[in-house]
Amino acid sequence: MNNHPRSLVNGTPADKISLTDRGIQYGDGVFRTMLVADGQVVDMAAQLDKLYADANRLGIKGISPETLRDDIHKLLDQCQGFSALKIILTRGNSNRGYVYDPKADATRIVSIFELSDVPNSYWTKGVDLFVCTTRLGKNAALSGIKHLNRLEQVLARNEFGNEFQEGLMLDTDNQVISGTMSNIYFVSNGSITTPSLELSGVRGFMLDKIQTCAGESGLSLNTGHIHLQQIDAAEEVFVSNSLIGIWPVRSIGQKQWRRGPLTSKLQHLIQHPRIPENT
Amino acid sequence: MNNHPRSLVNGTPADKISLTDRGIQYGDGVFRTMLVADGQVVDMAAQLDKLYADANRLGIKGISPETLRDDIHKLLDQCQGFSALKIILTRGNSNRGYVYDPKADATRIVSIFELSDVPNSYWTKGVDLFVCTTRLGKNAALSGIKHLNRLEQVLARNEFGNEFQEGLMLDTDNQVISGTMSNIYFVSNGSITTPSLELSGVRGFMLDKIQTCAGESGLSLNTGHIHLQQIDAAEEVFVSNSLIGIWPVRSIGQKQWRRGPLTSKLQHLIQHPRIPENT
């Protein structure tokens, strides 16, 4: 596989999309990025359910799960090792203007990307988080959805360089919400808290998975409001997304942590194929 | 000219854009829509200045004003009557992920669209506004910019059908901000107030033009915070954008207005080619 993504647009090999697509005109669509391990999409059914749920919240119609699965299988054939599968569903084509045809079919863009190698230490020793200046606006109508309006994440991610592996994002009231590409968790007194996503942020698939795994093991995962000043009190901090599983957080600003026992336990419980064995 | 938009991507006739463009991946770009009257872009220099200022706020680089003007002139050749010129500038292409190359050149998409006929009464008697449920989130980093993250406007516009000509949008604190595709103004005791756009909304070109025309004629245009409950006290209400100039507002919910003297005066002062004569 070369460095160029291989993509299907509505089932046909393509490297372009129509200018009348509402994805390019307005960011009018949703997406999910999934891990592919040796030709299999990890947790595909549950990932697709989240994609469809997001599309449904925005009223994006005309998605055939069977057709989308066919697209995915066409691209998987040549995959070896780890890859990223990205699926974008837009609201399809329309004339100029915000009005859409409620009966229009979604456009589906399915792409495979190579994953670059990541040091094992990101999973064992953890990663360093930059505290971003760019804030997340609050809007209950859009929060939680992995939609294509991602300028806040773009601006935040580009505040820091490669000396940090992730950026911490706060909302406009300085409440901690997430990483730029991950959800975040704070461990204190044996319980795990992740920020409320009722008004900001993206609810990643891995958050659901961690919640399920924690529950099955008798661990409590709570949702709460966390101010930047409160994070110093955490005993362990970690971030998650579908491509990395769980990374312990080693530092945020001056504050430092080591990977703790609950982080290790969850890394084991989620059975993520990229997490190095015997960590 | 047929119903299909005619477009140039980076100067070349095209009806598609690369899937690796950050416009489709993240809504990572800005746009402006301008009126073309008999082959001339109305207020082109000032419109382009606003486009460049928005691109600059997002750190989008590699825009050559001369090249963009060449694109525009290539498309204008065949224009008769009124058309809409839409220019999108994205942050260009990148690999998967929010990180961008700060040296990457913008992608420029220049398109011409037909304008549908609009009844003269929209300018003389006014238009009816639906009060949208979808709210505008607040974020100083993005407010005012005409960027490609427009899901809030998409959801708001599709709450109502053709019985309304525009929708009124409030922010998450129920402050009045704008129409879905226009700025809004309230006249009271001889002075004009338009909502503050410091935290939400798009600053349209026509707002600047109205401000200039008002100032030159000794009218005062103020920026303020306007709660939905305060609009009943307005003596005149109007909306503006580059394609329509100024439309009086005839109703918002149960409250009704007639076109008032300040609205008429500003309609005259802005010298917009689509506003019917002798109105």
Q: Which residues of A touch B96 (CB under 8 A)?
A: 5, 33, 84, 86, 113
Q: Do A148 and B22 touch (CB under 8 A)?
A: no
Tell me the pLDDT of chain A (279 aa) as tens digits. Answer: 344 459 999 999 999 999 999 999 999 999 999 999 989 999 999 999 999 999 999 999 999 999 999 999 999 977 788 999 999 999 999 988 999 998 899 999 999 999 989 999 999 999 999 999 999 999 999 999 999 999 999 999 999 999 999 999 999 999 999 999 999 999 999 999 999 999 999 999 999 999 999 999 999 899 999 999 899 999 999 999 999 999 999 999 999 999 999 999 999 999 999 999 866
d(CA A58, CA B238) in angstroms, rounded, equals 30
> pLDDT confidence of B278, banded at 50, 70, 90?
low
Which residue is listed with tokens 């990223």? Answer: A84
Closest C-alpha to A239, from A176, A153, A161, A156: A176
Across the A:B interface, residue pairs with CB atoms under 8 Å apart total 176
| A86 near B CB under 8 A | yes
What integer pLDDT is reported at residue A3 of this predicted model?
A: 43
Summarised one tens digit per residue, pLDDT across range B35-45 is: 999 899 999 99
Residue pointed to by tokens 């409160």: A230
| Confidence (pLDDT) at B20 | 96
Beta partners for B191? B188
Closest CA to A248 of A226, A218, A268, A224: A268
Chain B nearest-CA distance from A222, in A, is 26
Q: What is the pLDDT of residue B80?
A: 81
B115 contact A CB<8A: no
Q: Measured between beta carbons, which residues in chain A are less than 8 angstroms from residue B86?
A: 96
* A197 contacts: CB under 8 Å, gap ≥ 6: A143, A144, A177, A178, A203, A223
Q: SS3 letters for A9-65?
A: ECCEECCEEECCEHHHHHCCEEEEEEEEECCEECCHHHHHHHHHHHHHHCCCCCCCH
pLDDT at B2 > cutoff 80? no
Torsion from C-alpha of B146, B152, B158, B164, nearest 10 degrees: -60
Q: What pLDDT is attached to residue A80? A: 81
Please name the helix (run of DSSP H) or strand (run of DSSP E) that holds residue A265, with its range, or none. Answer: helix A261-269
Q: Best residue in A8, A19, A199 to probe B by mutation, most B CBs within 10 Å?
A: A19
pLDDT tens track for B55-77: 999 999 999 999 999 999 999 97
Q: What is the mean pLDDT of residues B235-247?
A: 98
What is chain A's length?
279
B1, pLDDT greater than 70: no
Cα A148–Cα A66–Cα B97 angle in degrees, nearest 5: 25
Tell whether the torsion through CA atoms of A147, A150, A152 and A158 is positive or negative. Answer: positive
Judge: B28–A109 Cβ closer than 8 Å, yes or no: no
Task: Please give the structure tokens belonging to residue B117.
Answer: 């006929």
- Closest chain A C-alpha to B263 CA, distance in angstroms: 25
Residues B92-138 have pLDDT tens digits of: 999 889 999 988 999 999 999 999 899 999 999 999 999 999 999 99
Check whether B171 has a pLDDT greater than 50.
yes
pLDDT at A1: 39
Query: Chain A: nearest CA to B87, how far in angstroms?
Result: 11
Of A24, A47, A19, A34, the C-alpha closest to A75 is A34
Q: What is the Cα–Cα distance from A196 to A181, expressed in whole angstroms?
A: 16
How far, in Å, CA of B196 to CA of B258, rounded?
25
Chain centroid to CA A233: 26
Confidence (pLDDT) at B78:
73
A10 to chain B: which residues are within 8 Å by CB? none
* CB under 8 A, 24+ apart: contacts of A211-219: A213/A266, A213/A269, A213/A270, A214/A266, A214/A269, A216/A269, A217/A265, A217/A269, A219/A191, A219/A192, A219/A262, A219/A265, A219/A266
Give the pLDDT of residue B279. Answer: 64
Give the one of B7, B27, B138 whose C-beta lies nearest to A150's C-beta: B27
Residues of A with Cβ-Cβ distance to B114 under 8 angstroms: none
**Out of A16, A96, A113, whose CB is closest to B17?**
A16
The mean of the pLDDT values for chain B is 95
For residue range B251-277, what is the model confidence (pLDDT) as tens digits?
A: 999 999 999 999 999 999 999 999 998
Quick: pLDDT tens for A220-244: 899 999 999 899 999 999 999 999 9
CA distance A241 to chain B (A): 13
Q: Which of A20, A137, A148 is nearest residue B27 as measured by Cβ atoms?
A: A148
pLDDT value of position A278: 67
pLDDT of residue A147: 98
- Asked if B161 has any chain A CB less than 8 Å from its own CB, the reply is no
Kindly provide the ipTM of the predicted complex, given to two decimals: 0.96
Site of tokens 């915000």: A98
pLDDT over threshold 80, residue B48: yes
List phi, psi (to 5°) of B256. Answer: -125, 150
Cα B188 from Cα B100, distance rounded (Å): 47
Contacts of A24 in chain B (CB under 8 A): 17, 21, 23-24, 88, 90, 109, 148
Cα distance between residue B182 and residue A191, in whole Å: 49
Percent of chain B predicted with pLDDT > 90: 92
Contact B126, B259 (CB under 8 A): yes
Out of B19, B150, B158, name the one closest to residue A111 (CB). Answer: B19
